[in-house]
Structure 1
């Protein structure tokens, strides 16, 4: 039902967003807000441990075999025999092709074929067990030359003191090396998205708690739909966040040009840098709006700062668990875990940003952004309805007493 003289949801949201944006942008506390990223740097260092886990999971070296059947069987048997003593130093051997007499091996073609072993081959062993040829990227051939020679020596019945010569045939790149480098780009994108979201989303709580204390939220709720208040505050905080990110990006670029800060070089993502950056901005907006809508619902029902502090630790731990879940799913592309991470609205922006770095295809991202926008609307409307029911509802005697958040969660009347 539309009330005469009452602003629509969109118009009310724009009024609240403009008011909050201007008030925060010209406040003195905004200067301290811009200094905030200095502290999450410590969190970034701690998050590096899970990055190492993901890298190890994806970067397990797998070397293909393109040899005659007898040589392949001998190489596999030799590797199995050496595994107890050299478990961490031996690469995994994968049969790519058992060559028939007179058939010529094409290791370079096998390395470029993404359909072979899921595109996770780092090198190819061809030739014979007595004269193996190792084909792969130059960066790692030297490191694998010794283990391959040791396997070949065992396969031909020689001891470790008589190692055959392993010929090296370097290539420009391989699908495994490309996939590994894109994983690093995906990790960097996920970590940056997490740090920015964790740093910036908390502003919604403090802003709403302040306005609840001075009764501004009740005046707004009486003048415009509660959904307008929630949407307006979310978009205002999102705009403030983009201002802060812009300032930090310009400062980082300036420090990098002066040589004071080193920005690591990352491999071009699967969708290219322009589209990857655009999707990164979109996924940050969605992650911020999804999390901010939950924070709005929590802050609108809290009657004191103490209640907010009580739930601050569970909320922070929840953010960390979402990040770890998305990072874990990144190491298992195509699995049910990755699909679940892309579907769950809280982890979907992180999982989809990693997908943008590692896999081609634009339509899954369009669908994911629409899916995340739907959940933002659901959370905002649900939070507004909960606010009207739990907070704005008068007591049995019409005294206007409101229930606190902790009491509401515990079901107290």
Structure 2
């Protein structure tokens, strides 16, 4: 190559950091999106979710069918019939406050029946057994069941023995759309659900950043990029590429979930006994809350991804990457618990710490959006989180470049002297890193 050719190459304008980050982001986004591994990554979480949903629905139905509270009757046939009739008269007004009464077949067989021995033998499915007479009923059961059902049994017996049956007045009812207590309780549930969804998505998707960097460190591609492009631009490009891939994955999962909901909406509402058309609304309204959810998820992803990139800068092997990422994963779990705990403690010092600490700030602020209609705090929080992302990327890139230079040619510029002041005789390429 001639001197003029080399001068022409050196004179070419270098890419700015923004342009370099865009090049890296576009390259990684396309490479990951059209890989077979990404297809299996998309399919993988769907099976546990579907199986878990079906298992939860079946288990919930079984639990509801199994928890049928029955109180056995071991009185005379006339008294049993009177108790059941009195219970049916009180049930429309008292509902679940009165138990379901069933005659105990063993007591009606004419043989000697000991209710205490029957209960201790764990026979039947009775919470308690009523013996004695209408004038003096006796309830046999555990201490907890006695505290719960002794009063209702006495009320039923009083109804059964009354010459003039008890007349329960019919009260009129006026419903309101909501109250301060119910609205706050509903918004807390919305905040908890939003935090949980964002945490699961962040932990599930942020690992792609770590695996991508570990792969490129193994085949030395990252060192080539470090020599040609500012390292912070490489890190930022990789972060936003993986963020874009994450949004593609969320969109695919969202479409699958929407299709499943469209097919089984009535069945889901029947099994869960929940009317999802009346979900509690957040303080800022659903459209803005969903927009803030997307932005805060992005910030949480970028913050955790920057931490993972810094870990990748410190590790030399894939095994080291996996080992060193475990403390960060556990720390993120503690951060989530911190943000979840402060939902019910607005304005306290602990909540302010959760908002200021970068890793917990997206979760705490998303909960704040569900509980507080103020908007200016979100602008301040997002600015602080963006600054934290930049600082983490800058620190991780500096650390990574320092280690790359140690293992590459730049590390040969500094040669250590031995104890006697002479240069080591080993080749420069075999020098140990500082």
Same-fold status (TM-score > 0.5): yes
Matched ranges for 1:302-317 at <5 A: 302-317=315-330
What is the alpha-carbon distance in structure 1 between the residues aligned to residue 393 and residue 226 of structure 2? 14
Structure 1 residues 41 and 338, CA gap change in structure 2 (3 angstroms)? farther
Q: Shift of residue 25 of structure 1?
A: 0.7
Instruction: Return the alpha-carbon distance in structure 2 between the equivalents of residues 254 and 193 of structure 1.
Output: 21
Residue 268 (structure 1) aligned with residue 315 (structure 2): no
Distance 2:367 2:175 in 1: 29
> C-alpha displacement at 1:167, in angstroms?
9.5
In the alignment, the residues of structure 1 paired with residue 432 and residue 293 of structure 2 have an alpha-carbon distance, to the nearest angstrom, of 40
Q: Which residue of 207, 210, 213 corresponds with 1:208? A: 213
Per the alignment, do residues 8 and 19 of structure 1 end up closer, same or farther by CA in structure 2, a change over 3 Å counting? same
Query: Residue 292 in 1 paired to residue 300 in 2?
Result: no
Answering whether residue 399 of structure 2 is matched by residue 399 of structure 1, we say: no
Higher mean C-alpha deviation, range 28-37 or range 379-388: 28-37
Distance 1:366 1:316 in 2: 27
Aligned match of 1:125 = none
C-alpha contact (below 8 Å) 1:269/1:356 kept by paired residues: yes
1:192 alignment counterpart: 197
Describe the superposition over 1:202-242 as per-residue Cα deviations: whole angstroms up to 9, x where unpaired: 11010001001111101111111001100000000000000
Distance 2:11 2:198 in 1: 41
From 204, 210, 234, the counterpart of 1:229: 234
Structure-2 residue corresponding to 1:135: none
Change (3 A) 1:401 1:296: farther
**DSSP 3-state at the match of 2:316:** coil
Task: Indicate if the aligned counterparts of 2:340 and 2:364 stay in contact, CA closer than 8 A.
Answer: yes
CA 1:317 to 1:176, structure 2 compared with 1: closer, same or farther past 3 Å? same
Aligned-partner Cα distance in 2 for 1:171–1:330: 26
How far apart are 1:185 and its partner, in Å? 0.6
Q: Is the 8 A contact 2:300 2:362 kept in 1?
A: yes
TM-score by length of 1: 0.64
Aligned counterpart in structure 1 of residue 25 of structure 2, from 17, 23, 35: 17
Aligned counterpart, 1:363:
376
Show the 5 A alignment for 1:13-162: 13-38=21-46
Query: Of 234, 239, 247, which aligns to 2:252?
Result: 247
CA contact (8 A) 1:392 1:402 kept: no
Distance in 2 (alpha carbons) for counterparts of 1:22 and 1:234: 14
Give the match's secondary structure for 2:373. Answer: coil
Q: Which of 349, 365, 388 is 1:336 aligned to?
A: 349
Q: Distance in 2 between matches of 1:402 and 1:229?
A: 27
The 1:179–1:40 alpha-carbon spacing in structure 2 relative to 1, beyond 3 Å, is farther
- Aligned counterparts of 1:173 and 1:11: Cα–Cα separation in 2: 52
**Shift of the alpha carbon at 1:173?**
2.1
Return closer, same or farther for 1:364/1:39 CA change in 2, 3 Å cut-off. Answer: farther
Conserved? CA contact 2:355–2:361, under 8 Å: yes
Q: Aligned equivalents of 1:31 and 1:38: distance in 2?
A: 12
Deviation at 1:191, TM superposition (A): 0.3
Q: Quick one: distance in 2 between partners of 1:288 and 1:171?
A: 41
313 and 362 in structure 1: CA distance in 2 versus 1, 3 angstrom threshold: same
Give the match for residue 180 of structure 1. 185
Question: Hey, what's the Cα distance between the residues in 1 that align with 2:296 and 2:234?
Answer: 23
| 8 A contact 2:29–2:241 mirrored in 1 | yes
Q: State the number of aligned residues.
A: 287
In structure 1, how many angstroms separate the alpha carbons of the residues matched to 2:331 and 2:256?
A: 31
In the alignment, is the contact (CA less than 8 A) between 1:40 and 1:199 conserved in 2?
A: no
TM-score by length of 2: 0.61
For residues 346 and 174 of structure 2, the distance between their equivalents in structure 1, rounded to whole angstroms, comes to 30
Contact 2:24 2:237 in 1 (8 A): yes
Find the aligned partners of 1:402 and 1:382 in 2 and give their Cα distance: 24
Alpha-carbon separation, structure 2, partners of 1:295 and 1:402? 26
Aligned partner of residue 6 in structure 1, secondary structure: coil
Shift, 1:334, TM fit: 1.3
3-state DSSP of counterpart to 1:243: helix
In the superposition, relative to structure 1, how do residues 262 and 3 fare at CA in structure 2: closer, same or farther (>3 Å)?
A: farther
**Structure-1 separation of matches of 2:185 and 2:326:** 35
